[in-house]
């Protein structure tokens, strides 16, 4: 087992007192939503919740923690409490190792714990055994985290269970869905780069990867076209994966080599659909000796832990991942109380985070 993660370490990283950290992790009041988000994200990044789970598995009594006590893995015993199932198929790095998805799940756990509700995480990838798994007594409903296949959603629907999706929707299976404000936030980020003087852009991300990527592309494109900057779908959009960092690095290396061979330049602003892609871009630019942000500005989206610790800290968009999880819980309970009300698509505001990876363009 790795080095023990203490509340004091978390407090030191977020610049708060150990008392404030303890209150936030125990689900107590007196801590603002923004501060709670920072604490839970930092605790997730350091591996605090994994440590709590390991202690439970070993029979030790862990220190109280709202997100951890609600269950962050298989084998959670809910006792007499009503339970919410969290469906997070282990595809495309949608798991508790992810700096994005794990924070959403811990936000769900935090909200459930405050209501004295239990959480059962399911990582099934097919609908075959779903009915057997979704039979705990007092099951309130299901929260889907990330991409869930249509057959699995149809099975949940067939079982008559209330369900809510986070960062995903399926046109064949209507439901409540919780998203970040992807389009508006990407428009704000693109506007920031325009204000810095950039006039040549790449969008790095496969729009077919997720609904969020598609919305971010639309916000990017709309903002540029409103400023009279034409966007070429063939040359200005690079179809990079949201999870395959090594594959993205290889793709970008080939792309830059091809441009160099043809004595062509690359854009001064690389707008990435998420931080994973942006981190790959930083690695390639550093390896090629291209200065960031001197020659190329790079931006991300999501504000995962690595974005601040990168060789050049990333300008990005902070997605309130803990609050996405909390809002999903609220939406599920509303759906359970009012099963016939119209479905809702809920968009949570994001925040632009300005760091060192973006500066004035060469065109300025």
pLDDT digits (tens, 9 = 90+) for 101-113: 889 999 999 899 8
pTM of the model: 0.79
When divided into structural domains, the chain yields a total of 3
Confidence of residue 2 (pLDDT cuts 50, 70, 90): low
| End position of a domain, from candidates 295, 319, 343 | 319
- Does one domain contain both 119 and 200? no
The residue with greater pLDDT, 37 or 169, is 169
Q: How far apart are CA 341 and CA 37, in angstroms?
A: 30
- Tell me whether residue 74 is in a domain: yes
- Does one domain contain both 137 and 193? no
| Contact (Cβ atoms closer than 8 angstroms) between residue 120 and residue 83 | yes
- Does one domain contain both 164 and 233? no
φ, ψ for residue 264 (rounded to 5)? -110, 150
Q: How far apart are CA 25 and CA 19, in angstroms?
A: 10
| End position of a domain, from candidates 174, 190, 223 | 174
| Contact (Cβ atoms closer than 8 angstroms) between residue 198 and residue 175 | no
- Tell me whether residue 330 is in a domain: no
The residue with greater pLDDT, 174 or 61, is 174
| Contact (Cβ atoms closer than 8 angstroms) between residue 76 and residue 104 | no
CATH of the domain at 203: 3.40.50.2300
| End position of a domain, from candidates 109, 142, 174 | 174
Residues for the chain: how many in total? 364
Query: Cα separations (Å) of 110 from 21, 26, 282, 299?
Result: 13, 8, 34, 30
**Cα 234 from chain centroid (whole Å):** 28
What confidence tens digit (pLDDT) does each residue in 9-48 have?
A: 777 777 777 777 776 776 666 677 677 777 777 777 666 7
φ, ψ for residue 180 (rounded to 5)? -80, 160
- Does one domain contain both 249 and 315? yes
**Domain housing 140:** 70-174
- Does one domain contain both 21 and 121? no
- Tell me whether residue 328 is in a domain: no
């Amino acid at each position: 087992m790795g080095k023990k993660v203490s509340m004091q370490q978390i407090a030191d990283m977020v610049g708060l007192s150990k008392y404030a950290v303890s209150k936030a992790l125990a689900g107590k009041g007196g801590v603002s939503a923004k501060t709670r988000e920072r604490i839970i994200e930092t605790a997730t990044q350091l591996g605090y919740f994994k440590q709590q789970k390991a202690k439970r598995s070993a029979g030790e009594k862990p220190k109280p923690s709202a997100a951890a006590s609600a269950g962050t893995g298989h084998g959670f015993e809910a006792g007499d409490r009503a339970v919410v199932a969290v469906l997070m198929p282990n595809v495309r790095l949608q798991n508790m190792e992810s700096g994005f998805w794990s924070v959403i799940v811990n936000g769900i756990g935090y909200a459930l714990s405050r209501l004295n509700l239990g959480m059962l995480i399911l990582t099934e990838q097919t609908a075959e055994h779903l009915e057997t798994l979704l039979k705990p007594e007092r099951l309130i409903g299901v929260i889907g985290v990330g991409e869930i296949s249509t057959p699995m959603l149809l099975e949940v629907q067939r079982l008559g269970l209330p369900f809510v999706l986070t960062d995903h929707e399926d046109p064949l299976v209507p439901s409540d869905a919780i998203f970040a404000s992807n389009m508006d936030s990407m428009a704000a980020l693109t506007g920031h780069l325009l204000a810095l003087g950039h006039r040549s852009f790449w969008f790095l991300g496969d729009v077919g990867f997720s609904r969020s990527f598609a919305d971010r592309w639309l916000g990017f494109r709309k903002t540029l076209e409103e400023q009279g900057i034409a966007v070429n779908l063939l040359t200005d959009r690079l179809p990079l994966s949201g999870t395959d960092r090594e594959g993205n690095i290889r793709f970008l290396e080939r792309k830059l080599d091809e441009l160099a061979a043809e004595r062509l330049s690359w854009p001064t602003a690389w707008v990435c659909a998420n931080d994973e892609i942006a981190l790959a871009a930083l690695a390639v630019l550093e390896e090629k000796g291209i200065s960031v942000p001197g020659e190329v500005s790079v931006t991300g989206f999501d504000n995962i832990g690595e974005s601040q610790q990168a060789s050049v800290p990333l300008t990005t968009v902070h997605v309130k991942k803990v609050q996405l999880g909390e809002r999903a819980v609220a939406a599920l309970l509303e759906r359970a109380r009012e099963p016939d009300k119209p479905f809702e698509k809920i968009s949570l505001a994001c925040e632009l985070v300005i760091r060192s990876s973006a500066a004035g363009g060469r065109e300025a």
